[in-house]
Structure 1
Amino acid sequence: MILELADIRIHAGQQAAFDEAIQRGLTTVIAHSPGFRGFKVNKGIESPERYILQIFWDTLEDHTVGFRKSPAFAEWRAIVGPFFAGAPVVEHFDLLAKS
C-alpha cells in the first residue's frame, strides 16, 4: 500500500467551508477511484489554514495515473482547488514499520 501525503494551505477564514468541501470531495470523488483504500485529514491547531491529507492507494500508479489522469481529478480540484492558497506539496511513501 502507498501513502499519498498532501500538505495543503488554504486562504485564511475559509476553514469551515473547506472542511465541508474536502470531506465531500473525498467521499464523492476520490473514494470511488480504483485502488483507493482510505483517507485521513488533519487540520492545524497552531496553523489553522494548514491541512495534512493522507490517502492510501494500492499502488503509486493508482494515484499518479489512474486518478490524476482521469476526469475525477478535475472534479476533485473543482471542489477543493478554489480554497488553495498555493499548490499543495504532495509526496508518496512506502510503509517501513508499524506497531
Structure 2
Amino acid sequence: MILEVADIRIEPGRQAEFDAVIAKALAEVVSQAEGYRGHRVQRGVESPERYLLMIWWDRLESHTVGFRQSERFVAWRATVGPFFATPPHVEHFELVDATGADPSPAR
C-alpha cells in the first residue's frame, strides 16, 4: 500500500468552505477511483490555512496513472483547486514501521 501526502495551503479565511468542499470531493470523486483505499484530512492548528491530505492507494500507479490521468482528477482539481494559495506539494510513502495509533486509513 502507498500513502500519498499532499501539503495544501489555501487562501486564508476560506477554511469552513474548503472543509465542506474537500470532504464532498473526496467522497464523490476520489473515493470512486480504482485502487483507492481510504483517506484522512488534517487542518493545521498553528496555521489553519494549511492542510495535510493523506490518501492510501493499492499501488503507486493507482494514483499517478489511474487517477491522475483520468477525468476524475480533472473534476477533483476543478473543485478544490480554486481554494489553493499555492500548488500543493505531493509525495508518496511506504510504511516502514508503526506502533501506537492505527496508521491505516479511516473508513
Pairwise same-fold verdict (TM > 0.5): yes
SS state at 2:64 partner: helix
1:44-63 mapped onto 2 (5 Å cutoff): 44-63=44-63
Partner Cα distance (2:97, 2:79) in 1:
34
The reply on whether 1:42 has 2:42 as its aligned counterpart is: yes
SS state at 1:87 partner: coil
The reply on whether 1:86 has 2:86 as its aligned counterpart is: yes
Runs of 4+ in 1 over 4 A off after TM superposition: none
Partner Cα distance (1:13, 1:96) in 2:
37
Partner Cα distance (2:87, 2:69) in 1:
18
Partner Cα distance (2:76, 2:25) in 1:
6
Aligned to 2:103: none
1:23-42 mapped onto 2 (5 Å cutoff): 23-42=23-42
Q: CA deviation at 1:98?
A: 1.1
Runs of 5+ consecutive residues of structure 2 not aligned to the other structure: 100-107
Partner Cα distance (1:25, 1:79) in 2:
7
1:5-20 mapped onto 2 (5 Å cutoff): 5-20=5-20
Partner Cα distance (1:24, 1:77) in 2:
13
> What CA RMSD, in Å, does the superposition of the two structures yield over aligned residues?
0.4
Alignment identity in percent?
58
Q: CA deviation at 1:49?
A: 0.3
Matched residue pairs, number? 99
